[in-house]
Amino acid sequence: MTAGPADSFREYVHARLGTLVRAAFLLTGDSYLAEDLVQQTLAKVASRWEQIVADGNPDAYVRRVLYHQHVSWWRRWRREPLPVAAVPEAAGADPHGPTTTAIAVRQALARLAPRQRAVLVLRYFEDLTEAQTAQVLGVSTGTVKSQARDALARLRAVAPELADLQEVSK
Amino acid sequence: MTTTLHRVLVDLAGEAPSVRMPEDLWRRGRRLRWRRRAAGILACLLVSMTAMWLPSPNVTGSQFAGTDDRTLPAWAAQPYLWQQTFSEDPNGPAKLVFETGHSLDLDTSLVVVGRDDSFRLVYLDPGELMGSLSPDGRYLLGDNLVDLVTGQSRKLSPAVSSHWPAVWSPDSQSAVAVIGQDDVVPTTGPNGERINDSTRLDNIVIVSVPDGSLRVVHVAEADVFRAAFSPDGTRVAIAVGRDAQNKELLILDVATGAVQRAVSLGERQQIAGSAAWSPDGNRLILTFIEGCLTAPSCDGPTPDRPARQRFHLQQLDVDTGTVTDEAVRGLQDRPNLIAWRQGAPVLSVTNDADNSCAIVRLPAGQSPETLPLRAAGYGCPSYPRNALEQWTLDGPQLTPSPWQAQNWAYVVLGLIVLTGAALVVKLGRRWRRRSMTQRSRVAPEPPR
């Protein structure tokens, strides 16, 4: 019967939903897109839930689906306008500067390629190592390094006020 | 680690709205699962169907329709049990045909080997005989007239008796056959009176290939029937009679049925075979049985080893009716003259004791030469007469392709492949699960 796996799936969603939405929000930069991304991710996860549970590490699988789904969206819609809730403001256009660092980071992230954004979120939000990031994205460690370097450089280029943030590294 | 960036990202993520997932998320996942499985099954079916109908190397006869391999093989092997059937994919004209018990049919089956070296099975009905192969290898005349190229089977009306094999004209456009009129099973009426006739005369007919019509050319007892066409196809010699003691050789005009010559044959004499008329048209070859008449019941050196039948050839002058004995005597087994090759008769000789067969050429004044023409299966294979007379012999041994298979065999093969693939996938998942479990020991929990 499906009662067992359905219940465990609902419990998992209940426990992890906030985390997933936050990561999706950082990836998409939009709350509605984040919600859609999480829904599609969880539907895919539900379609293979028994196998995922049997594999013993649902978080790794869910994370992988979320990030791949995001990159897949970008590939599909990069030539089409994305439906967003609000038109983002152009960084640097305001002579008074961004009111908060978070807004500046959000605007800067929106200008990154999806994989670069994914690398930053995985490395600096989810605290994964380069090897773990590479595993989630299905790329080599070298690619993760170069993507992170390029992403940080691009952040600095599109949002010079973030220069001090990027220079504080481990 | 860029700790400040981490803090900023956490702050930014904190702006994410709280969302509620739809209640039907699980059901959406299930629908996705079934759609994926249905697509997988559909893809497998499409691949299987495509594989089934795609021509594979050395499979179908159609791609070899233009080939002109004029070599007879030294040996033809048994077909595979799953060999393609002739009715599904005709492969004529035939290079040879032979009977086999190596098929999934409980009865004897016929193997048709095409000129493209393809093998096809014909499942014979119980009691059905192989029939006669036309000189060009295109037709098979038994209970039905079968075109081996198109696969069309024409039922003749009335049916000719396959008990007496039909004999083909040299141009493969007609054949002489017998329509048996005897009531084989005696039947009596309510008062014990005989109501059928076991001595009714039989019809000797000419079967026309183009329209399948039958034309009676003679009426006689055909219990000892044998026939041979003249090389030009205008005359046919037939042996008729009630039994061996009352046997007569008639030479008929094929067009009118007029008897041009009648010669009484002795108990030991018979027309040598379907190619008994010599190529020059002047002689008719007869066989003369020496010693015991009815092998394999002849007494041999031991009770379990009967004596082999012996014979020699005679030449009957068609114009004068005189008979001359050949010098070579004591040839063994039951003969059937099937062709002429390099001026000498070619006979298939069958040992009735063990049903073994050899095809031999009898050059004048020389010892018999066994030709490299053998096949698996029962008795002698049948070759088109034109091929026996004109083609190169001792060709490479022929073995069927296992891919010339019936459709159900592809389905079984597909199921085996799918089962193997499913096993590989399952093992792969188990291996990945094990490696993921090992990796998860070092992977951190995602931030909450």
Q: What integer pLDDT is reported at residue B234 of this predicted model?
A: 96
Contact B306, B296 (CB under 8 A): yes
Chain A hits for B15, Cβ within 8 Å = 25, 102
Q: What is the dihedral of CA A119, A121, A122, A123, to 10 degrees?
A: 80
Cis peptide before B231 (omega within 30 of 0): no
Nearest alpha carbon to residue A162 among A120, A115, A118, A113: A120
pLDDT at A150 over 60: yes
Q: A149 contacts in B (CB within 8 Å)?
A: none
Cis ω before B158 (30° cut-off from 0): yes
Split at pLDDT 50, 70, 90, the class of A169 is very low
The dihedral over CA atoms of B72, B76, B82, B86, expressed in degrees to the nearest 10, equals 30
| Partner-chain contact B12 A19, CB within 8 Å | no
CB B76 within 8 A of CB B376: yes
Task: Count CB atoms within 10 A of the CB of residue B137.
Answer: 26
Would you state the pLDDT for residue A94?
42
- pLDDT value at residue B64: 43
Would you call B29 and A47 a contact, using CB atoms and an 8 Å cutoff?
Answer: yes
**Model confidence pLDDT, tens digit, residues A72-120:** 777 666 544 445 555 444 444 444 444 556 677 777 788 888 888 888 8
- Give the pLDDT of residue B10: 85
Output B53 or B101, whichever has higher pLDDT: B101
Residue A5 has pLDDT above 80, yes or no: yes
Indicate the pLDDT class of residue B244, thresholds 50, 70 and 90: confident
CB B380 within 8 A of CB B370: no
Give the one of B16, B437, B448 whose C-beta lies nearest to A56's C-beta.
B437
The region of weakest confidence among B21-30, B142-151, B303-312 is: B303-312
What residues does B155 pair with on adjacent strands? Answer: B144
Mutate to test the interface with A, among B3, B4, B426, B435 (most CBs of A within 10 A): B4
Mean pLDDT of chain A: 77
**Cα–Cα distance list, B240 to A11, A99, A162, B168, B196 (Å):** 96, 120, 115, 17, 22
Chain A CA closest to residue B24: A43
- CATH: 2.40.50.140, 3.40.50.2300, 1.10.10.10, 3.30.9.10. Which one for A92-170? 1.10.10.10
- Phi and psi at B440, nearest 5°, equal -65, -15
The structure's pTM equals 0.64
Question: In this predicted structure, which of A14-28, A69-83, A87-101, B139-153 has the lowest mean pLDDT?
Answer: A87-101
Fill in the amino acid letter for B237: A
How many Å apart are CA B243 and CA B182, to the nearest integer? 14
Structure letter (DSSP) for residue B442: T
User: What SS3 class is residue B24?
Assistant: coil
Among all residues of chain B, which has the CA nearest to that of A43?
Answer: B29
Task: Give, rounded to a whole angstrom, the gap between the first and last alpha carbons of chain B.
Answer: 19
Task: Give the containing element (helix H, strand E) for A33.
Answer: helix A31-47
Å between B435 CA and nearest CA of chain A: 9
Write down the residue that tokens 């007469």 correspond to.
Answer: B385
CATH superfamily ID and name for B68-183+196-395: TolB, C-terminal domain (2.120.10.30)
pLDDT at B439 over 70: no
The SS3 of residue B345 is strand
Judging contacts by C-beta atoms under 8 Å, the chain A residues touching residue B5 are 105, 120, 124, 165-166, 168
Domain ranges within chain A, ordered by starting residue:
1-87, 92-170
Q: Do B447 and A127 touch (CB under 8 A)?
A: yes
CB B310 within 8 Å of CB B332: yes
Q: Is the pLDDT of residue A162 over 70?
A: no
How far, in whole angstroms, is CA B334 from its chain's centroid? 23
Cross-chain residue pair A120–B5, CB shorter than 8 Å: yes
The answer to whether the Cα torsion of B203, B206, B211, B212 is positive or negative is positive
What is the CATH number that goes with domain A1-87? Answer: 1.10.1740.10
User: CA B73, CA B203: separation in Å to the nearest integer?
Assistant: 38
Question: What radius of gyration, in Å, describes the C-alpha atoms of chain B?
Answer: 34
Domain boundaries, chain B: 68-183+196-395
Q: How far apart are CA B237 and CA B247, in angstroms?
A: 13
Q: How confident is the model at residue B281 (pLDDT cuts 50, 70, 90)?
A: very high
Percentage of the residues of chain B whose pLDDT score is greater than 90 = 50
d(CA A49, CA A58): 9
| Cβ-defined contact of B19 to A44 (cutoff 8 Å) | no
Between B138 and B243, whose confidence is greater?
B138
Q: Which tokens is A45 given?
A: 């996860």
The pLDDT confidence band at residue B3, using thresholds 50, 70 and 90, is low
Q: Which residue has the higher pLDDT, A65 or B443?
A: A65
Average pLDDT of the segment spanning B307-323: 89
Q: Which residue from A minimizes the CA distance to B12?
A: A102
Stretch B331-342: mean pLDDT: 91
Residue of B nearest to A155 (CA): B5
Contacts of B446 in chain A (CB under 8 A): 16, 19, 23, 59, 63, 126
Considering only CB atoms, A105 lies closest to which of B8, B25, B26, namely B8
Phi-psi region of B419 (alpha: psi -120 to 50; beta: other; left: phi over 0): alpha
Answer yes or no: is pLDDT of B333 > 80: yes
What pLDDT is attached to residue B147?
Answer: 95
For residue B207, pLDDT over 80 is answered with yes
CA B40 to chain centre: 40
